[in-house]
């Protein structure tokens, strides 16, 4: 199975809108919606986790050659995918959904931020990346709305 690379994914997503830029936050690469760099970082669109951390090691990314794509989507899309939104886990714990967060190429709730309607996939293959494209659009639309709201708040 061919695994998409972070570079391929980033190029695709950044081609959707000139207001998307790559930045690093909390030691992770991420794509942010920030046309004209009007906000310090912009609005999160997607992140790439390339190593385990003390509060997020459920995917065992340190097994080697792995990364996890994380994507914030709308509540409606999250419910369409999973049927319910998990409860917020205690600090240092993961959401209780029954998913195997170590499974490669499987779209699932984010192990820590699933309660915030974030989804995740380890090393997405081409077919599952195609399945993600409507959710990427969904995330972009949400980011555009949040961006406009934050710009209004600054004025």
CATH of residue 74's domain is 3.90.1150.30
The pLDDT tens digits of the residues spanning 32-83 come to 999 999 998 899 999 999 999 888 999 999 998 999 999 999 999 999 999 9
SS3 148: helix
Q: pTM of the prediction? A: 0.93
The pLDDT of residue 89 is 95
Q: What is the strand order of the sheet 28-33 is part of?
A: 20-25, 28-33, 43-49, 68-72, 118-122, 108-109
Token pair, residue 9, equals 């994914």
Distances (CA, A) of 100 to 28, 59, 63, 113, 124: 22, 8, 15, 15, 15
Give the domain range for residue 64: 6-154
The pLDDT tens digits of the residues spanning 71-118 come to 999 999 999 999 999 999 998 899 999 999 999 999 999 999 999 999
DSSP string, 129-142: HHHHHHHHHHHHHH
Distances (CA, A) of 74 to 66, 103, 138: 26, 23, 7
Domain count, the chain: 1
* pLDDT higher than threshold 90 for residue 27: no
Burial category of 76 from C-beta neighbours within 10 Å (exposed 0-12, middle 13-18, buried 19 and up): exposed
The answer to whether residue 53 is domain-embedded is yes
Neighbours of 105 (CB within 10 A): 16
Q: How much of the chain exceeds pLDDT 90, in percent?
A: 86
The answer to whether residue 1 is domain-embedded is no
């Amino acid at each position: 199975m061919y695994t998409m690379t972070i570079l391929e994914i980033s190029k695709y997503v950044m081609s959707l809108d000139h207001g998307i830029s790559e930045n690093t936050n909390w030691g992770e690469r991420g794509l942010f919606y920030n046309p004209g760099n009007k906000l310090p970082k912009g609005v999160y669109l997607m992140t790439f986790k390339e190593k385990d951390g003390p509060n997020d090691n459920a995917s065992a990314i340190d097994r080697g050659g792995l990364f996890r794509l994380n994507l914030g989507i709308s509540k409606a899309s999250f419910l369409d995918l999973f049927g319910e939104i998990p409860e917020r886990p205690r600090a240092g714990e993961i959401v209780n959904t029954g998913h195997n967060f170590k499974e490669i190429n499987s779209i699932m709730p984010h192990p820590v931020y699933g309660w915030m309607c974030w989804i995740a996939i380890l090393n997405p293959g081409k077919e599952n990346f195609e399945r993600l494209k409507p959710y990427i659009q969904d995330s972009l639309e949400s980011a555009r709305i949040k961006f406009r709201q934050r710009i209004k708040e600054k004025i």
